[in-house]
Amino acid sequence: MMDEGTELSLTIAQIVQRLKGTNLHSQIERQAKECLHRPEIKLESLKDDVRHFLKASGKRMFPTFLCYLFKLCLFMCLSMIICRPPLNSMCTELGVPLARKRPAIEQKELTNKWNEMGTDEPDLSRFRPVYAPKDFLEVLISLRNPNHDSSEEASSKSYWGLVQVPLQVRDIPQMREAYSELCLTSGQLGIDDLTHVPPGESLLMCTDVLTSSVLPVLSEQDSAAAQQYSRQGCPTGLRADLWSLILNSTNSPEDVLHYNQLKAGVIHHDLLVDKLIYKDVKLTASNDDYYFVFEDYLYQVLLCFSRDTAVLDHFSYNSATPPKSYIQGRVGEEEFAVVYPPNGVIPFHGFSMYVAPLCFLYNEPSKLYAVFREMYVRYFFRLHSISSSASGIVSLCLQFERLLQTHLPQLFYHLREIGAQPLRVAFKWMVRAFSGYLSTDQLLLLWDRVLGYDSLEIVAVLAAAVFAFRAENLMEVTSLASAEAVLADLSTLKVMPLIQIFLFATVI
């Protein structure tokens, strides 16, 4: 259960999101600014004062709509005054500037150890992630469409899950049609390169047959053909080239120059967000058996990424807006608001795991950076943005719950009854696209299909398939903790057999 303060904050966030861009938003924003200058408004007690007033006003006989609008105005006022940009709050609490120019000696030191930043042990004890996936999940759970009539739902199963947003998601027959290349009779790298080796033939010979058709694709530099090929998996030795071709990432001289300019920006200026990046890498990738060796690469890529204003272009097709912070001492004054971090992306707990698997494919920092940036603006941003996109995290959560409810209703009901809602376990997998949970070779096979189908839907399918695979053990658990224990280690799972069986061997 959420406490009252958390519930209020979530309500504010929802209301602000719904009203953005409307006339009413502009009017309320203007009134909220005027409130700041009234002597009777005491900032230190405003949150409690408003909460008490809202309780009292609910008992009065105001017309419902007027009462709603009045509360809305107060919430908006609160959102401007109390819900300050998180980095501004951190800046104030810790006494650390949002940005500062490094002294010449510090610039020289950073230049010299650019390839050895992992050896640094800065004191990060005062810094904490702005949010973690479990916090984001609580926001998604609270989403509701006020215009939706729940009585229209055809099935009571709609209420079993945590996500109650009425979005259209595919069922298994539709999935089979959309992902026909994954059917049981089609060759798959990730399956056929491991099994069914005919007598007298080597595994290498079988793999050669599967990979021979990709060579013309690479020689002709055909991006569309590379994407089609990727649907059935990419050969390990050619994956880096195929992904670069699909993403149109050429590592041209202009790309190398752009990376070096970003590197110079890191060397010249220190940002508060740099500490969050250091902290995240230390907490996640540095403790991962697969990725700890890439710590230096992760710092190089993520520090440059935070300064790349070209990333802002993705907000033109992202439902979110870039976060803003205020010049010190000017909090609340819009003319002193700037996009911060410069790329508009605040790293959350686990963000570095979007980069880590790519380090297995690219050892040139500028190339690694270019591929990661393209992966982010095409796919990864959708995993931490609220939208109605079929590849967005809301749809993925709903897709996962619907698949599980429809095809494993007894399991879903059992887990729900013991307080172990499946989404609470699977969300952390999906928000990272399984990075850090699967073995790297299996993760890359999964991401082959993400690029091949230009969609993250397959991530939700795999999450449901994992539950189906462990269903027998899960039916025996009696708590959320024991369910999490059953699903704690996914490192031995084989991705493609699970997906194929769930999609094409499930009785409908």
Question: Can you give the residue ranges of every domain in the chain?
Answer: 4-83
pLDDT given at position 30 = 60
Least Cα distance to 310 among 258, 350, 362 occurs for 258
Q: How far apart are CA 415 and CA 162, in angstroms?
A: 12
Q: Is the dihedral of CA 339, 359, 440, 479 positive or negative?
A: negative
For the stretch 103-106, contacts whose Cβ atoms lie closer than 8 Å and that sit 24 or more positions apart, written own/partner, are: 106/270
C-alpha angle 261-247-210 in degrees, rounded to nearest 5 = 135
Strand partners, 270: 100
Q: How far apart are CA 197 and CA 202, in angstroms?
A: 7
E strand or H helix at 25, and its extent?
A: helix 23-35
pLDDT given at position 121 = 75
Model pTM score: 0.79
In Å, how far are 121, 276, 411, 420, 478 from 417, measured between CA atoms? Answer: 46, 38, 10, 7, 9
- Transcribe 148-208 into DSSP letters: --GGG-S-GGGGTSS---------HHHHHHHTGGGSTTS--TTTTTTS---TT--HHHHHH
In Å, how far are 14, 72, 143, 164 from 146, measured between CA atoms? Answer: 11, 15, 10, 11
- Amino acid identity of residue 112, one-letter, is N
* φ, ψ at 229 (rounded to 5°): -65, -40
SS3 108: helix
Q: How far apart are CA 68 and CA 62, in angstroms?
A: 9
Measured in Å, how far apart are the chain's first and last C-alpha atoms? 36
Q: How far apart are CA 98 and CA 203, in angstroms?
A: 55
**Residues 365 and 258: beta-carbon distance below 8 Å:** no
**Residues 117 and 299: beta-carbon distance below 8 Å:** yes
pLDDT given at position 159 = 64
pLDDT given at position 238 = 93
Q: Is the dihedral of CA 412, 390, 434, 195 positive or negative?
A: positive
* Residuewise pLDDT in 10s, the chain (508 residues): 555 555 555 566 566 656 655 655 556 656 665 565 555 555 445 555 655 655 555 544 344 434 444 444 444 444 433 334 567 677 777 778 888 899 999 999 999 999 988 787 777 878 888 888 888 998 888 887 776 655 555 454 456 888 888 888 999 999 999 999 998 887 788 776 655 445 444 444 445 555 677 788 888 888 999 999 999 999 999 999 999 999 999 889 999 999 999 999 999 999 989 999 999 999 998 888 899 999 999 999 999 999 999 999 999 988 888 888 777 666 667 777 888 899 999 999 999 999 999 999 999 999 999 999 999 999 999 999 988 899 999 999 999 999 999 999 999 999 999 999 999 999 999 999 999 999 999 999 999 999 999 999 999 999 999 999 999 999 999 999 999 999 999 999 999 999 999 999 866 5
pLDDT given at position 69 = 41
Strands 269-271 and 99-101: antiparallel
pLDDT given at position 417 = 92
Q: How far apart are CA 104 and CA 325, in angstroms?
A: 27
- Amino acid identity of residue 243, one-letter, is W
Residues shown for the chain? 508
Q: How far apart are CA 449 and CA 445, in angstroms?
A: 7
Q: How far apart are CA 485 and CA 144, in angstroms?
A: 31
